[in-house]
Every structure is written in structure tokens, then in C-alpha cells.
Amino acid sequence: MSKLPRIKDKRILVGFNTADDAGVFQISKNKAIVQTVDVFAPTIDDPYLFGEIAACNSLSDIYAMGGKPLLAMNVVGFHPKYPLDWFSKMLLGAFKKTKEAKTFIVGGHTFVSEQVMFGLAVTGFINPKKIITNAKARPNDYLVLTKPLGVEIFSYALLKKLDIPNKLYKEAVKSMTTLNDKASAIMVKIGVNAATDITGFGLIGHLAEMISASKVGAEIYASSLPVLPEVLSLIKNGVIGAGYGMNYASFANQVIFEKDVSEEYQILVFSSETSGGLLISVPEKKLAKLQKELKRNRIISKVIGRIVKDHPATIIVRK
């Protein structure tokens, strides 16, 4: 995308130049279209659950911008070795979550693939005056994360048929099948400075995009990160997904780890997430209200760091 020419049209409120979660196009004074697409391979062997997870993951980009999804199209990478019933269950799982999100599936597209792929192209609406981008984080903002990290580690352990604690399985599935709709509505109501969702690029990748777009730096604290149970133990035993390597290659030059940050945490923050939480950059004066509203809606959140004016586009990870 970086090689493509920039489109100059005042109706395009958010394009691809800041690597944001979705594109936004203004259609009237008080209404804009917000659009995204997300497709990926199964992270779990249950087709119905995978459909739920994929739908939550795709809808999340709309929520990260502060928008409300309305229409969706299924995008299916079909592999002939899988029975049609497998795909039917997958689509039913996705339908369950789009219905919960008050979003209508109106069609889709299927293509033959060497690997099963699935996701949604989603269209929503947003008030142009209330768009939350990843480009307006400000120095002294607090960084709040609304879901635990560690999904890729869990999924890789599942793929390798390792023994997975029941608590980890339940919490990972619960996290991935939870919509970010309530957290999104709360941050719009509070009026935060910036946000993004934590998905394929992992915590470091998406935070790096945020601080690069905002021309600021960030500090995060490993000990404050919410982590799925037993994930750090799995990493210690050598369970590392493919996303870690790709994200490390892309973003390692923007990260400085203090010496006392363990290797497990260094791997965790680069690992991919699926249907992860919202990373919210909120001014200090609004932090308590944001936390109160999230807690009232039973959304577990953690303050994981701060935005700083020093070292722009660089993340320092402290213990």
C-alpha cells in the first residue's frame, strides 16, 4: 500500500496513509461510511467457534474507529478437503455474532484456497465529528488495554495438539468471541484521544503504528500487561507462533527493552492476536471515568503504559 499514490479527496477522512483500522468516507454533514475487510486462517479447530471469532475480529476494526457496523459480506477461502458442513457451521457461527452486533450479512464471495480462510468485509456508519483514529495520541495520555494477550500462543499450542489447561481454553475462547462494541461505545462517550484494536501485528505492531501516526513515543510496563493464564509458561517451554517472527522483523527497530524484561514478555508483545482488545489512549483527566464505565460494563481493562513526547515512534518496554 505504501507504493500507491495518495488519493486527494476531501471526503476521504481516513485513508491508508496512517495504517488505521478502517477507511472513512464522508457522505453528509453528520454521517460517514466506515469500511474494512479482514480474512485469516482458522485459529481453532471448531468451525462454529472459528466463525464467531472471525466475525468478532472483522467487526472490531469498525469499533476501533468509534463506528457502528451495519452490513457485512462473507469472504470464504474454500478448500475442497473440508466438508461443506464444516463451512456451514463456520458461517452460522459468524451469523450469530453479526446478529449480536445488529449487523446484516447481505452476501459474500468464495474463492478456492490452499488453506481455509474466512472473514468479513464490513461497512458501518460514524459521525465525522466523533471519529477515533490512531493518529491523535497525545503526550501524558494513559494507555488502556481491554483484553488479555496471548491468543497466538494458545492457538499454536492447539495446532500442535499440546496439553492446554482448561482454564486457558475457556478464557481464550471467551476473549476471542467477545465483541468490542461496549468498549467502543464507552470510549466514544468519554471522548478519548486515540484507539486501535490489537490483532495481527500484536501489541507492539499496533502501538508502533499509533505512535508513528501521532508523532509521539510510548512506554509500557510488562508487569502491567493482562495475559491469558499459562501463556507465559507455554512461551517458556518454546511455544511461539509464526506471527512473532513476522512482527519482530517489521517492528523491532521501534522497540527498546530494559534489561530486566524477561524473554517471555519480549516474545508475548510481538506475538499476533486475534479478536484482541482495544488499545485506548486517554487523557489523565478522563482515565478514572473510562475505567469506571468499563468496569460497570464488566469489561476487564488494564493501564499498561503512557504516551510520551520523548523518543517519537519508539516504544520503551519496562519491567
Are 162 and 115 members of one domain?
Answer: no
Assess whether 185 and 302 both reside in one domain.
yes
Task: Please check whether residues 96 and 147 belong to one and the same domain.
Answer: no
Domain contains 161: yes
Stated pTM of the model = 0.94
pLDDT score for 112: 93
The reply to whether 122 and 159 lie within a common domain is no
Residue ending a domain, among 69, 97, 130, is 130
Mean pLDDT, range 306-319, rounded to an integer: 97
**Count of structural domains, the chain:** 2
Sole residue written with cell 474466512 = 118
Give the C-alpha distances (Å, rounded to integers) separating 61 from 38, 85, 159, 312.
9, 29, 26, 25
Give the domain-ending residue among 130, 155, 178: 130
150 and 293 assigned to the same domain: yes
Q: What's the pLDDT at 18?
A: 64
**Model pLDDT, residue 32:** 96
Residues 122, 162, single domain; the answer is: no
Q: What is the 3-state secondary structure (H, E, C) of the chain?
A: CCCCCCCCCCCEEECCCCCCCCEEEEEECCEEEEEEEEEECCCCCCHHHHHHHHHHHHHHHHHHCCCEEEEEEEEEEECCCCCHHHHHHHHHHHHHHHHHCCCEEEEEEEEECCCCEEEEEEEEEECHHHCCCCCCCCCCCEEEECCCECHHHHHHHHHCCCCCCHHHHHHHHHHHCCCCHHHHHHHHHHCCCEEEECCCCHHHHHHHHHHHHHCCEEEEEHHHCCECCCHHHHHHCCCCCHHHHHHHHHHHHHEEECCCCCHHHHHHHHCCCCCCCEEEEECHHHHHHHHHHHHHCCCCCEEEEEEECCCCCCEEEEC
Is residue 190 a part of any domain in this protein?
yes
Which CATH number do you get for residue 75? 3.30.1330.10
pLDDT in tens, 175-212: 999 999 999 999 999 999 999 999 999 999 999 999 99
- The answer to whether position 223 is within a domain reads yes
Instruction: Examine residue 1 and state whether it is found in any structural domain, yes or no.
Output: no
| pLDDT for 270 beyond 90 | yes
Query: Is the model's pLDDT at 20 over the cut of 70?
Result: no
State residue 96's pLDDT score. 98
User: Is a pLDDT exceeding 90 seen at residue 262?
Assistant: yes
CATH of the domain at 282: 3.90.650.10
Residue 13's pLDDT is 86
Whether residue 264 is contained in a domain is answered as yes
Inform me whether the pLDDT recorded for 1 exceeds 60: no
Residues 199 and 113 in one domain: no
Counting residues of the chain whose pLDDT is more than 90, the rounded percentage is 89
Same domain, 304 and 165: yes
Pairing of strands 31-40, 68-78: unpaired
End of a domain among 130, 164, 182? 130
Q: Is residue 173 part of a domain?
A: yes
Amino acid residing at 247: N
Residue 263 sits in the same domain as residue 216:
yes
| 192 and 298 housed in the same domain | yes
Strand 194-197 vs strand 68-78: parallel, antiparallel, or unpaired?
unpaired
pLDDT for 250 beyond 90: yes
- pLDDT at res. 8: 80
The verdict on residue 135 lying in a domain is no
The whole-number pLDDT of residue 16 equals: 72
**Is there a single domain that holds both residue 97 and residue 166?**
no
Q: Are residues 169 and 306 in the same domain?
A: yes
Residue at 2 is within a domain:
no
- Domain extent, residue 298, equals 142-318
State residue 5's pLDDT score.
Answer: 72
pLDDT tens column, 84-134:
999 999 999 999 999 999 999 999 999 999 899 999 999 999 999 999 999
For residue range 50-66, what is the model confidence (pLDDT) as tens digits? 999 999 999 999 999 99
Average pLDDT, the chain: 95
Report percent pLDDT > 70 for the chain: 97
pLDDT band per the 50, 70, 90 thresholds, residue 15 = confident
